[in-house]
Amino acid sequence: MAFSLAAKYASAVLLLLVLPCHGAAHNITAILGAHPGLAEFTSLLASTGLAHDINRRNAPITVLAVDNAGMAPLKARRMPRAAIRRRLSLHVLTDYDGVKLRSLPPGGSAVASTLFPASSSGAGGNGMVKIVMPGLGLGDEGRARFLPVGSGPGFWQAAFFVKSVYEEAPRDMSVFQVSAVMSAGGPRKATH
């Protein structure tokens, strides 16, 4: 039985309308690939599967990327892939963008959700990150600070805003470079 060209076309269009879309909303490895200084971070996002999780999200997302020098301490620890994934999950803010960051007043703060798994314990506390804008005269060089929520003295490492790397209109994807890999959830060993 032969179908007319119009019937074949109509069937193809109908099929496209009915099938769920599984296309990627973003391609974080391509975005970061344009920045060789972020190669270690990019490689770990890909090898832990976080790049896939970022790419499939449709809501606004902000990635806090760390340069190769900032990644060296994490790489030197030779952590299991699952532990690295949890740590880097804190660097993926959901429903947060550059406009929200720039709208924080001096001395202001906000809390953002991350891709950190809610069922995990240990590094990262509850998976939320507090963003603190410097107040006037506080001596933190005027840079926003990102800090895991639930962390206390001696239990955390904050990351400071370095620069904006990428911002997509209409605010779906932002990438900011930060100074270090955030950590929280356990006492830090003293180094002598």
pLDDT at residue 140, rounded to an integer = 54
Query: pLDDT, tens digit, for every residue of 22-39?
Result: 444 679 999 999 999 999
Q: Does domain 23-184 have CATH number 2.30.180.10?
A: yes
> Confidence band (pLDDT; 50, 70, 90) for 157?
confident
Whether 159 shows a pLDDT value over 60: the answer reads yes
> Confidence band (pLDDT; 50, 70, 90) for 117?
confident
Helices then strands, each counted (H, E), the chain = 7, 9
> Confidence band (pLDDT; 50, 70, 90) for 19?
very low
Structure pTM?
A: 0.78
Buried/exposed code over 93-115 (b: 16+ C-beta within 10 A; e: otherwise): bbebbbebbeeeeeeeeeebbbb
**Taking all residues of the chain, what is their mean pLDDT, rounded to a whole number?**
78
Q: CB–CB of 58/32 below 8 Å?
A: no
Look at 7-16, 80-89, 119-128 and tell me which has the smallest mean pLDDT.
Answer: 7-16
> Confidence band (pLDDT; 50, 70, 90) for 155?
low
Could you give the CA distance from residue 101 to residue 75 in angstroms, rounded to a whole number? 29
Amino acid at 148: P
Could you give the CA distance from residue 68 to residue 51 in angstroms, rounded to a whole number? 17
Whether 45 shows a pLDDT value over 50: the answer reads yes
- The percentage of residues in the chain with a pLDDT greater than 90, rounded to a whole number, is 47
pLDDT at residue 136, rounded to an integer = 62
> Confidence band (pLDDT; 50, 70, 90) for 98?
confident
pLDDT at residue 149, rounded to an integer = 85
Nearest to 161 by CA among 136, 124, 131: 131
pLDDT at residue 130, rounded to an integer = 92
Domains of the chain, residue spans: 23-184
pLDDT at residue 169, rounded to an integer = 72
Could you give the CA distance from residue 116 to residue 90 in angstroms, rounded to a whole number? 5
Could you give the CA distance from residue 131 to residue 90 in angstroms, rounded to a whole number? 12
CA atoms lying within 13 Å on the CB side of residue 174 = 23
pLDDT at residue 1, rounded to an integer = 46
